[in-house]
Every structure is written in structure tokens, then in C-alpha cells.
Structure 1
Amino acid sequence: MLRGALADTRPLSTISYRRLWLAGVITVIGAQLSVVAVPTQIYEITGSSAYVGLTGLFGLVPLIVFGLWGGAIADVMDRRILLLLTGAGIAATSLTLWVVAASGVGGVWLILSLFSVQSALLAINQPTRNAVIPRLLPAEQLPAANALNMTVFQLGAVVGPLLAGVLIPVVGLPTLYLLDAIALMATLWATWRLPSVPPQRTAGVRQRAGFREVVAGFRYVALHKVLLVSFLIDVIAMGFGMPRVVFPELSEKVFGDPPGGGLALGLLFAAIPVGMVIGGLFSGWLHRIRRQGVAVTVAICVWGLGIALFGLANSLWLAVLMLALAGAGDLVSSVFRSSMLQTVATDEMRGRMQGVFVVVVAGGPRLADMWHGAAATGLGAGVAATAGGIAVIVGAVVVVTRFPDFWRYVGPIESKARP
């Protein structure tokens, strides 16, 4: 019984996917070192949180622009080559950041510019990588593959910042960028070993990657209700429910942290990724779920319930437990929504669909940041979080009621029993 509950590892029997996944274990942790290093370096230079806040702007704008455009590019050229080019570019920007940090040459605007370039490259790389996976694996293994990918990503979100905190006093902040660049070599090697992944062209149709093709992607979403709702329901979940902006206030005023943060703040930020990691480790049962629309709706409601109860918690450990519950719900939702994109969308549209997915995933939490901050000031941080969680549940029910095709959506049938 325990074996059946553990993560479904069948995708790892496909050597191309296994190489990418194993390389991702290293690369994701390395990427988190730079995630910590950039704001820390900017604060060291300026002593201003306002400058640190500019990383949001310099990261979000290229993510939106190049996430959408990058998805269109991924639909017209060999995706293996695109992964190699963008991966090499990401490594080069990390090396440049290392040189800047180690030499002290340049200032905050150079760092922000390099960060922006790296965000643009990541915005092209990520949808391309996700669009490659359906070409490597059978459709019925996609939920398992997405669960494995997300488990690694969330594990990196926990381990990477902790490792950065340990390494900075020992090797210095600039070395974090160098370690990130070295870690990227693993993924470049795995990508180099991939087979060619050219686009599956429609006869007689000339393929481009311009504004018209990006617009065609949005039109495609509007015509496919399952895809449309998968995006809408994620915007609802993250836009209403992500409470991270109230963590500092709650950690100090409710859970007893000293000014500036302490153990409670770290636990609150780690709780959702930890819940996702645990959910991923025990995701073996997901491959048996065919009613994927039902699964996503229930998982989103679990996310909303966890956030609502978190806002009511007066105990730190209860708050952490509720956030972890929410994270487990988010893991299930993310697995099936990613699988829907990879299954419902045709190969010639997968890059653009993954680009929209990247923008939605990045934009939702930033919407939550804006309204949670204002609501916390007027109503209190806990009330704001609880209201957001309730809004998630109500919004999900309304959207699925409006688009019942999503509720009825059934995923691919297993071709054979799991060994």
C-alpha cells in the first residue's frame, strides 16, 4: 500500500526524461542561490528595500513579454536547440553577475539589467522545456512526470535558500552566482543528449513567431474551455489566496518573532513548498485519477481552505500545518493543470500555451501581494488571509459551475497497469 502511495516513477524509465530530471535536481538548487543573491547584493549596495523591490518589476516585465513570445518561438523551431541557446544564455548571465559581484565593477542598475536579461531567457526556456516533455513520454505518464518536476522545484525552493544562508558567510555572496552557473552545466549536458524536437508542422502553413502568433495563442485558449478554465482557476487560487505579503506582520505580531524576522518568518515561507514536496513524494495515487477536472477543483478548494484556516491560527505550528495543507492542494492542482495543457493543446500550440501558463503562474501571486497588503492594513493580516482563502473557494465553484466542461474533463486512459 505504501509503495502505491509513493511518487510514480515510471517516467524515469525513459532515459531522455531521466537525464533532464536528474539534472534539474542540481540546477534548481543552483538557481535558488541566485534568487537569494540578487536581492541580498542590491540591499548591500543601496541599504534600501525600495531598490530591492525593483527586482519585482525588472523580473515580471520580461517574464510576461518573453514568456508569451518565447512560447511562440518554441512552436516554430527545434525545441532542443532553443533550450541549449537559452540555457547557455542563463549560465552566461550568472557568470557575468559573479564577475560584477566579485570585482565590484558596476552598480545596482547593472545588476538589475542582468537580472532582467536572465528573467527573459528563463521565460523562453521554461515553456520550451515543458513543451518538450509530451514528446518524450506517453500521455498517461504526464501527471507523474509533472509531479516529479514540481517536487524537485519545490525541494529546491526549500533547500536552495537554506544553503545560500549557510554558504554566504563561508564563501561569500559572489560565489553563489558561480555555483549557479556551474550547476547549469548539468542541464545543458542533459539537453545536449536529447533527440531533436522539431515542431510538428501543418502542411502548407508558414510558421512564424510574431505578434499575430501570440494573439492566436490567446484565441486558442478562448476556444478550448478546458484550457481557459485551467488558467482562470489558477488566477483565482493565486490572485486571491497567496498570503506571503502578510507573513512578516503575522510572524512578529502573532507568532512572536523579533523585529526584522526570525524562526517564525522562515517557517511560514517554507511551509507551502514543504507541503508541495510532501504531496509530491506521496503522489503515486494521482495516476489513477481520470476525472482531472474534478481533481483540480477539489485541490483548489483545499488550497483555499488551508489559507483560510491559516489566517485564523494563533499557534505557529497550526499556521505552518495549514499552509502545508494548502501547498499539498496546490501540488495536485498544478500537476493536473500542467497535464491538461500538455494533453489538450496540439503540439504546434504547446509552446504558446506553456508561455501563457508561465505568465499566469507568475502574475497571480503578484496580484495577491497588492490587495493583501492593502487589506491587511485596513482589516488585519489574519482577516485578509482568511478572506482570500474563502474567495478562492467561492471563485472556483463559480467558474466551474459556469464552465461545466472543465468539471467533466477526463484525462488519458492508462495503456497498461502500473508495474
Structure 2
Amino acid sequence: MSQEPVEAAEKVVERERWVIDVRPLREVAYRRMWLGSGISFFGFQFTSVAVPVEMYAITGSSAWVGLLGIAGLVPLLIFGLWGGAAADVIDRRKLLLASSMLAWISTLGLLVQGLLSVHSPVLLLVLTAVQSAGFAVSSPTRQAIIPRIVPASLVPSANTLNYTTTTAGGVLGPLAAGLIFGAFSTDNGVTIAYAVDAILFTVSFWATYRLPPIPPIELEEGAPKPTAGLRGILVGLRFLVTQPVLLLSFGVDIVAMVFAMPRALFPEIAEERFGGGAAVGWLFAAIALGSVVGGLTSGWISRVKRQGVALVIAVAGWGVAIGFAGLAHSLWLAVLLLAVGGAADLVSAVYRQSILQVYAPDRLRGRLQGVFTVVVAGGPRLGDLRAGATADLTGPTASWAGGGFVAAGLALALAAAFPALLRYRPPSAEETKD
């Protein structure tokens, strides 16, 4: 028998061990949501670059840019928890449509103020808060949908596809925005960026509209009925505090984002260290670029059994890479190091999401995803505030590099002090909660 077919088959198997797993795309509902989310997230990146650039142009202060983080955090704290609870009570498709509409309205508001050259930092803060409220509801709802439309064994692969696709948008969007700001004045650039986001956001509505109804699963007779009020939120929080692995996974992520997220410093660093222009687009794109590369070579992620250890290593790697990036005086070295950090962040994000989705029964998934959204999206916003405030006191280099190294050290210390996360392994299919 010829060895060539055997060798060819072995090469295919080896390649599949590393190449991203696309099996979840066979599910029609998931494929639609994946496509809509990816395109709309690409459009959102234009706004995510334009808002801090416009704020810095108006105020000339990184501290004001950092306040955008607080404007986004407060709605997250309020509506993230409520949105998660609502996702356990209301048809998740309908809730996703409504919350996406709110985010779209805020984008139109940004476009209008750009067209009118309002130049109001307070208005930027208000519109950022409204946009954050929409995101706070849509994000836990979207994540709670995934285990309902893909088999449980493919949840890590579905999460990896989501992160990889959205971060691909996080690469192309900021780069395209950087080209816009390099070719046009700030006023014209932000207006064009907001217009692109508003147009592409419509794809997300189409994809969500085409989803099947996703009502709450009927509970067993006698089981307490979930509510979207305070009592329902407290039920989810009580479950959470009994799960040390979940608490620790949230803890290391908060450390990583609060201390090592440098994006509030990108406009200032791009202007003063790298000559402005398209440099700001490269800085905003670099982390996502690393995440894309990490995702495309992520075939190994679902095979790792010591997921807690891998999570801690990834968070520490993120901090170290960000720290060295803050010391770089070459734009391309800074981009490379930020990309390394982005690859590490992709790994940690997939494991955090997958651990949560495995732990949570469907009747609690929305509520716990609400907490997850507050942590994952709130942490970077606190990081924006920390970076901007400390930059005004110590300078941008110390704020950026010091924060990265501190994050790595604190994450390792937290994991060592509370080793439940290091001992975590995913349960077998028989042990997984329905």
C-alpha cells in the first residue's frame, strides 16, 4: 500500500490541530449571528478611534480621554446586570434587536454632532454613555444565545471564531480610520468615521432579525421563575459567589485590564512619539491584530485541559508584552509588542468565556453573562481612567509601561494566593450542566 495517502492524511490532521476550528459555522443561526457581529464590530472600530481622537483634539488632555472610560462604565454597571437578567426572562432575539437599536441611535448622535462641529466634550461623554447602555444589554444577550445555537462541545470553538472575527474587525477598522485621519482634518475625519459605523451597523440588525425565536427554556415544575428585577440579579450573584473559579477568572481579568490597558494614551503617544497621522490607527489596531493571528492558529485551544493555568499564563503574558510596548520608541516595535499582548488576550478571553458558559445552567446564563460583560467591558474603561489620570501625573511612558508590569505581577500573585483557578479543568461531557 502506498504511503502517500497516509502521509497526506497525517498532514491534514496536523494542520487541523493548529488551524482555527470552523465547525460552528455549519449551524445556520450561528453563521448569521457571526457574520452580522463581525461586520458591525468592524464599523464600530471607526467610532472607537474617532471618539478619543475627537476628545483629545477638543481638550488636549489624556485625562479627558480617560473620562470616556467612566462614561462607558456607569451604564455598564447598571444595564449589564439588568440586561443579563432580562436575557433569562425575555426572548433573547427580541432583546438583542432592542438593545442594538439603542446603540445605533447613539452612533447617529455622534454623526450629527460631528456634522455640526459641536466640539462639546460633555456631549461626547453623554453619547458614549448611551452607546455603552446598548452594548451592556446586547453583549450578555448575544453570548447567552451561543450555547442555544451550537452543540456544547463546540462552544469553545464558537467563542474563538467570535473573538477572532471581531478582532479582525479591530485590526482593519482602526487601520482604515487611521488612513482617514491621515488624509482629512480631524473634523472631517471623525464625521466620516461615524458615518461608516452607522451604515455598517445595519448588517447587525439584519443578522439578528433572521435569528429564530430564542425564548427562555421551560423550567421544571416547582422551580423558581426567573425575573429581570433585583431578585433575579441577586440569584445570579449568589450562584457566582459560590464558584471560586469564576470569581478568580474575573479577578485576573480586572487586574489585566485596569492596570495594563493603554488605549487612552494612544492619541498622545501617537502625536508626541510617532508623529501623529496614521500612527494612531496602528496603535489602536495592534492588539486586535495579535488577537487575529492568535485566533487563526488556535486549533490547540480546545484540547488544553489545564485551562486555568493557561488562563493565568496568558494574562501574565499580556501584562509583560504591554509593559515592554510602553517603552518602545519605534512604532513598529510598539505595534509588534502590542500584537503579542493581543494574542495572549485572545487566549485568556476564550478560556474565561468558555469556563463561564460551562459552569452556568441556561436559566442563569444571561445573568452571569451580564456580570461577565460588566467585568470584561468595565475593566478596560477603568483602565482608560487609570491610564489617563496617571499619565497626567507621571507621564505617558510610566503610566503605560508600569501598568503592564504591575498587571503581570498581580495576576501571578492572585493565582498563587488562591489556587482554585490553577487547578481547574473543564468537566467531561457527562458532567457538563445543561
TM, length-normalised to structure 2? 0.82
Residues 125-156 of structure 1 show CA distances to partners (whole Å, capped at 9, x for unaligned) of 11100110011112221221111111122222
* C-alpha contact (below 8 Å) 1:67/1:123 kept by paired residues: yes
Conservation of the 8 A alpha-carbon contact between 2:175 and 2:281: no
Displacement of 1:330? 0.8
What residue number does 1:304 align with? 319
The residue number in structure 2 matching 1:276 is: 291
**Residue of structure 2 equivalent to 1:146:** 159
The letter of the residue matching 1:217 is G
CA contact (8 A) 2:25 2:31 kept: yes
Q: Deviations over 1:156-175 (max 9, x none)?
A: 22222333354576887545
Structure 2 unaligned residues grouped into runs of 5+: 1-13
- The aligned residue for residue 175 of structure 2 is 162
Q: CA deviation at 1:53?
A: 5.7
Tell me, yes or no, if structure 1 residue 121 matches structure 2 residue 134: yes
Q: Which amino acid aligns with 2:366?
A: G
Asked if 1:197 is matched to 2:228, the reply is no
Q: 1:70 to 1:275 in 2, by over 3 A?
A: same
More moved, 89-98 vs 168-177: 168-177
Whether the aligned pair in 1 keeps the contact of 2:50 and 2:193 (CA below 8 Å) is: yes
**C-alpha contact 1:257 1:263 (8 A) present in aligned 2:** no
Post-superposition offset of 1:351? 1.3
- TM superposition shift of 1:56: 3.4
Write out aligned runs for 1:256-271 (5 A).
Answer: 256-258=273-275, 261-262=276-277, 265-271=280-286
Equivalent positions of 1:399-414 (< 5 A) are: 399-413=414-428
Q: Report the Cα offset of residue 29 of structure 1.
A: 1.5
**What is the aligned partner in structure 2 of residue 130 from structure 1?**
143
CA distance 1:372–1:140, change in 2 (3 Å): same
Residue 21 of structure 1: aligned partner: 34
Q: How does 1:234-273 map to 2 (within 5 A)?
A: 234-247=253-266, 256-258=273-275, 261-262=276-277, 265-273=280-288
Change (3 A) 1:375 1:105: closer
Structure 1 residue 414: Cα displacement: 7.4
Once structures 1 and 2 are overlaid, which stretch shifts more, 221-230 or 23-32? 23-32
Aligned to 2:4: none
1:233 partner SS: helix
Q: Which moved more, 1:5-14 or 1:367-376?
A: 367-376
Query: Which deviates more from structure 2 when the two are superposed, residues 347-356 or residues 9-18?
Result: 347-356
Q: Aligned ranges for residues 8-157 of structure 1 at < 5 Å?
A: 8-39=21-52, 55-99=68-112, 101-102=114-115, 112-157=125-170
TM-score (norm 1): 0.85
User: 2 CA distance for matches of 1:295 and 1:239?
Assistant: 20
Counterpart of 1:324 in structure 2 is 339
Name the stretch that deviates more: 216-225 or 8-17.
216-225
1:380-418 per-position Cα deviation (integer Å, ceiling 9, x unaligned): 654554443333333223322333332222225579xxx
Instruction: Measure how far apart 1:102 and its partner are.
Output: 4.4
CA distance in 2, matches of 1:109, 1:272: 28
Alignment partner for residue 224 of structure 1, among 243, 253, 261? 243
AA aligned to 2:153 is E
CA distance in 2, matches of 1:357, 1:154: 18
How many angstroms does 1:266 deviate by?
Answer: 4.3
Residue equivalent to 2:352 = 337
| Counterpart Cα distance in 1 of 2:328 and 2:304 | 32
3-state SS, counterpart of residue 300 of structure 2:
helix
1:58-79 deviations in whole A, cap 9, x for unaligned?
3221122111111111111111
Contact (CA 8 Å) 2:36, 2:208: kept in 1 or not? no
SS at the partner of 1:284?
Answer: coil
2:198 partner SS: helix
Q: What residue is the counterpart of 1:361 in the other structure? A: 376
Query: Quick one: distance in 1 between partners of 2:312 and 2:64?
Result: 39
Kindly indicate whether residue 228 of structure 2 is the aligned counterpart of residue 209 of structure 1.
yes
Identity %: 47
Question: What per-residue deviation string (whole Å, max 9, x for no partner) do you get for residues 307-347 of structure 1?
Answer: 33334545544333222211111110001101111111111
Q: Take 2:399 and 2:56, find their aligned partners in 1: how far apart are those partners?
A: 29
* Contact 1:290 1:413 survives alignment (8 Å): no
Give the conservation status (yes or no) of the 8 Å contact 2:21–2:157.
Answer: yes
Aligned residues: 410
Query: How big is the shift at 1:115?
Result: 3.8
Q: Give CA-to-partner distance per residue, 1:78-118, whole Å, 9 cap, x none.
A: 11111122223333443455455546799765665444323
CA distance in 1, matches of 2:405, 2:95: 42
Task: Please say if residues 8 and 287 of structure 1, whose CA atoms lie closer than 8 Å, have aligned partners that are also in contact.
Answer: no
Deviation at 1:191, TM superposition (A): 1.7
CA distance 1:63–1:374, shift in 2 (3 Å): closer
CA change 1:149–1:76 in 2 (3 A) is same
Instruction: Report the RMSD for the aligned CA atoms in angstroms.
Output: 3.2
Distance 1:370 1:157 in 2: 21
1:347 to 362, 365, 371: 362
Query: Which shows bigger deviation, 263-272 or 77-86?
Result: 263-272
Work out the CA distance in 2 between the residues paired with 1:82 and 1:315.
45
Partner SS state of residue 20, structure 2:
coil
